[in-house]
Structure 1
Amino acid sequence: MSLPLPSELIREIIYFTLSSTPPRSPTPEDLGCSTKPSWLTLNALSLTSRTYRALVLEAWFRTLYVESPKDLEFVRCCWPEVGPRWTRHLHCIQTFSSPFSQIWDLSCFLHLSSIRLDWLSPFLMQSFHSPLTKSGMPFFKFSSSVEHLDLRGLPWPTPEVLQNIPCTPGLGHLKTLKLKQDTTWCGLCGGFYRIRFKDKPNGLVYEGGYGLPIDYARVLTPLEYLEEVVITVPNRGFGSITLGHTPTAPDPDSETNSNPNLWAGECHNCMKTKYEDDAFRQKWVDRKRGIGVCRDDDGKKDTRPPNLRRVEWRFCD
């Protein structure tokens, strides 16, 4: 009679199976789509023995995908270990038409390290306030310090929206922030718009703490542990400017992916008009680098998260 495999080896097999199996959704990065594989991937093993089933459930609920706080309550009733022991990553969907019916009580999650929030609600986040929350974020009663936040689908990603993040208890120790949105914020005109570059830049990576729109950097300054921000926006093409557009000189070859202006969300109208003044353009670029004492028209000093090391812009189709 063969001896059973040790639980440590079974656990490794389970985690390898989960990580190597494609998600059940063909588009796991889209709003409302889970990144997890089908339960059938592990169902047979879970029926082998009580020991194996416990290991399977522990691995399965390490990432928890839920579409409403009511679903969360159901899971906690059926599997009490979900919050206190198993779950590390929470993927929740903000779908309800009434903002106050969709507030997530995170008190049971003692080891939660990351949250992905897919924002499908028609309500703006800055108008999302209730007596239970201290900010516009739909979370309350954090029992652990979340280090990674992934926000997707915000219809109007204004600085006022992002200001909700450092104001939310439990998010003060963020190390990485990911934003996937349909529009971006222009620090020159103070509006948001859809990107339409003539070329197709691969993306941008900034090291050293700059690369965010100045208004974003200012409102995120209280996040003293923040090290990385990744912003993903679609490039809809058919525009009239390139990433390195400078009216006083020919556009650089798109193949070189040149970025002389340290692009950080500026709209095509501002790049075409305000960059005509080369002195203004250079002053703006220096300001984004943090050279000299920089202040806005309202007298506020430019600031940014003290430990920010990396900013990445990703352009998708």
Structure 2
Amino acid sequence: MAETSLSVSSRRSCLPTELLREIVHYYAHIISWRDPEKARQSYKPQWADYQPLTLASKVLRQLSLETWFEVYYAQSPEDLVNTWPEFNTWTKELHCVELGTDLHVRPVQWNLQAFRRLRKLRVDFDPSQSNAMLLMRFDHPRPIASHLQELEVHDVSWPSPMVVRLVSEAFPALRVLKLAQDLVWCSLCNTCRFATFKDHPPPEIMYEKTVGLPLTVAYGLGGLTSLSNNDALWSGECDACMDMMFPSWDGFQAEWVQKKKNMERPPSLKCVHWRFRHKDVADIAVDLEEMESPSGQEEEDDEDDT
């Protein structure tokens, strides 16, 4: 009798699955994470951090697997071909590393059809390669396009309006768009440039329902333009165009700002954030050499990206 009462009492003291799930999620957030700003590397916690939970009980093992696979890291399109059946309910964020080039497009596409609960897609390109057209390799976006709310793209080699058009057409329901790269598109001279300013820009500038795109861009000093007084609502214009056109043409600034408000962007995008990271002059020279020099590209290809 006493043994039966103890057994009933033990069963009643078990925590409900919903509470255990919250505990596992909390644990996942407090354990050490890798730097999400490092491109082409997984920022998930290591599986070893989850292993103690998997050994505690069958329920905790299941919950740990679900939490671990909420972010899925794929290093090639083949990684998505034979996924576990549970991924379509577990995975909410997909992190893809695309090291290819526009010049040699592989036949296998990034097929996203299995990830029906996807909320965020992150794509990391190789900055030493010509890669602007590779967003088209993300095949079959329509099954997930209606609920994909966030897209993050790192190191597009030529971030022209064509890239924005591809994003707008493939993912019309985006609420958050983040682009991180070294070059930025100037809509005045229609080229990609390295941004230079007279002084350090603020860490972030934000526009509500207006111009530009949310970007993290590299910048250097030595230019003539300052963003301290950002009356022109800077959205990527290069230093040469800003210096030549804005002071000399009467009424040009107001006309240009009004035109930028009507530029193409994903229709659900509500807020634009520009973030800036300063780069050393030596690093800038190397980056630009590699973008322009075939020999520099070959040397980069021989290195191990990991």
Which of the five TM-score ranges fits, normalised by the shorter chain?
0.7 to 0.9
**SS of match in other structure, 2:94:** strand
- Distance in 1 between the 2:115 and 2:97 partners? 17
In structure 1, the residue matched to 2:211 is: 211
Distance 1:44-1:302 versus aligned 2 partners, 3 A rule: closer
Size of the alignment, in residue pairs?
262
Q: Which residue of 1 aligns with 2:283?
A: none
226, 241, 244: which one aligns with 1:270: 241
Superposed CA deviations along residues 35-83 of structure 1, whole A, max 9, x for unmatched, are 2111111111112222211111011111111111222335x1xx32012
Shift of 1:238: 2.9
Kept in 1: contact 2:178–2:214 (CA 8 A): yes
Aligned to 1:240: 224
The residue type equivalent to 1:240 in the other structure is L
**3-state SS, counterpart of residue 151 of structure 1:** strand
Amino acid at match of 2:132: M
In structure 1, C-alpha distance between the alignment counterparts of 2:263 and 2:52, rounded to whole Å: 57
Q: Which has the larger radius of gyration?
A: 2
Inter-CA distance 192–258: structure 2 relative to 1 (3 Å threshold): same
Answer whether contact 2:186 2:192 (CA < 8 A) is retained: yes
CA 1:30–1:47 in structure 2 vs 1: closer, same or farther (change >3 Å)? Answer: same
Change in CA separation of 1:108 and 1:240 when aligned onto 2, cut-off 3 Å = same
Task: Look up the match of 1:124.
Answer: 131
Aligned to 2:276: 315
1:230 aligned residue: 214
Cα displacement (A) at 1:240 = 3.2
Could you say which residue in structure 1 is the equivalent of 2:299?
A: none
Could you say which residue in structure 2 is the equivalent of 1:149?
A: 151
- Residue 158 of structure 1, CA deviation: 0.7
Task: Work out the CA distance in 1 between the residues paired with 2:263 and 2:93.
Answer: 33
- CA-atom RMSD in angstroms: 2.3
Q: Which amino acid aligns with 2:194?
A: R
Indicate conservation of the 8 Å contact 1:180/1:233, yes or no. yes
TM-aligned CA distance change 1:166 to 1:308, over 3 Å: closer
Q: Distance in 2 between matches of 1:117 and 1:69?
A: 12
Distance between the aligned counterparts of 2:246 and 2:113, measured in 1? 50
Corresponding residue SS for 2:168: coil
Shift, 1:136, TM fit: 2.2
1:93 is the counterpart of 2:97: yes
Q: Structure 1 regions of 5+ residues with no counterpart?
A: 129-134, 213-228, 244-256, 291-300
Distance 1:289 1:101 in 2: 38
Query: Corresponding residue for 1:215?
Result: none
The code of the aligned residue for 1:167 comes to E
CA separation of 1:141/1:273 partners in 2, compared to 1, >3 Å: closer, same or farther? Answer: closer
Percent identity of equivalent pairs? 33
Residue type at the aligned position of 1:235: Y
User: Does structure 2 conserve the Cα–Cα contact (< 8 Å) formed by 1:110 and 1:143?
Assistant: yes
Change (3 A) 1:286 1:196: closer
* TM-superposed deviation, 1:305: 5.3
Shift of 1:188: 1.0
Change over 3 Å in CA distance of 1:307–1:113 after alignment to 2: closer
Q: Which has the higher helix share?
A: 2
Judged with a 3 Å threshold, the aligned counterparts in structure 2 of structure 1 residues 230 and 102 are, in CA distance, closer, same or farther, namely farther
Q: How does 1:94-109 map to 2 (within 5 A)?
A: 94-96=98-100, 98-109=104-115
Query: Which amino acid is the alignment partner of residue 90 of structure 2?
Result: W
AA partner of residue 199 (structure 1): D
The separation in 2 between residues aligned to 1:52 and 1:304, in whole angstroms, is: 43
Query: Does residue 53 of structure 1 match 2:24?
Result: no
Pair 1:29-2:31 in alignment: no
- Residues 1:71 and 1:308: Cα distance change in structure 2 (over 3 Å): closer
Distance 2:111 2:265 in 1: 30
